[in-house]
Amino acid sequence: MAKFNVFNREYGWIELICGPMFAGKSEELLRKIKRLEYADVDCLLFKPKIDTRNKSLIKSRNGKKMLAIEFDDPFEIYDVLSKNVNHPQVVAIDEIQFADPKIIEVVEVLAKKGIIVYAAGLDNDFRNNPFPITSSLASMAEHITKLSAICTECGAPGTCTQRIIDGEPASFNSPIFLIGNIESYTVRCRNHHEITDKKFSKKSDKFIKNYKEI
Ligand code: TTP
Ligand code: MG
Ligand code: ZN
């Protein structure tokens, strides 16, 4: 059991860390947990099982790693917490965009029960369309940290994850889930983010064709 309630508050809340790949989301999550652990605050780390890159580890790009409990069904988080005699004050979940949608309810219930929930995940997929889980959490969260990387083409804030397949921008119709790293992904600004086969409505197509940029 922790020596004190480090937050000095009787209720929980939700903090979301989101952004594209290469933005340091996992690093920020681990930083938040590390500073709490120095104060002996009990934290539990989770990640959905679907990510096979670093089994049971949350790894940041600066080489830091921490053990995480993998879950298939978000309700497994209740089981882990119920069995933990230390009553952890903090739950952290990485790669939340890959979790089953039931995670939304679980996060809400945990926060209601006084737990501080840190969630990290991609805001958008390679097409730059929102991941629904992350969008929902952004609406629910008390605090949001939106991180960006650096566009590899121009150095502007890199807010979009660019998927590259065989040296070419991926097609809009390719599957959303493709676990990978620098062999298939890079980061771009909105201007340099490329996607092939993206269809707009006729009205948008006409506007794109005719509107003269200043
Ligand atoms: P991240 O942890 O978001 O990538 P990262 O480690 O580069 O970012 P950070 O430093 O901010 O923690 O992992 C994203 C995973 O999601 C990666 O395995 C690729 C996958 N992915 C998809 O499956 N579909 C997609 O559309 C995108 C953009 C990524
Ligand atoms: Mg990460
Ligand atoms: Zn750019």
Non-local CB neighbours of 167 within 8 Å, separated by 6+ positions: none
Measuring from atom 25 of ligand 1, which residue has the nearest CA? 125
Tokens of 35: 């500073």
Q: Which residues 6+ apart lie within 8 Å of 103 measured at CB?
A: 48, 74, 93, 96, 133
In this structure, the strands spanning 90-93 and 185-188 are unpaired
Q: Which domains does the chain have, with CATH numbers?
A: 14-149 (3.40.50.300)
Find the mean pLDDT for residues 31-60.
85
* Nearest-atom index, ligand 1, CA of 120: 12
| 51-72 pLDDT, tens digit each | 555 568 878 888 788 889 999 9
Q: What is the pTM of this model?
A: 0.93
Q: Is the dihedral of CA 76, 81, 85, 90 positive or negative?
A: positive
Task: Quickly list DSSP for 98-113.
Answer: GS-TTHHHHHHHHHHT
Please tell me the distance between residue 85's alpha carbon and the centre of ligand 1 in angstroms: 33
pLDDT digits (tens, 9 = 90+) for 130-152: 999 999 999 999 999 999 999 99
> Taking a C-beta distance cutoff of 8 angstroms, is the pair 28, 145 a contact?
yes
CB within 8 Å of 113: residues ≥ 6 apart: 12
**For residue 3, is pLDDT > 80?**
no
Q: Which among 68, 110, 108 has a CA at the least distance from the CA of 88?
A: 110
Could you report the per-residue pLDDT of 88-122, keeping only the tens digit for each?
999 999 999 999 999 999 999 999 999 999 999 99
Q: Is the CB of 1 under 6 A from ligand 1?
A: no
* Active-site annotation, residues: 95
Kindly report, residue by residue over 78-96, the tens digit of the pLDDT.
999 999 998 899 999 999 9
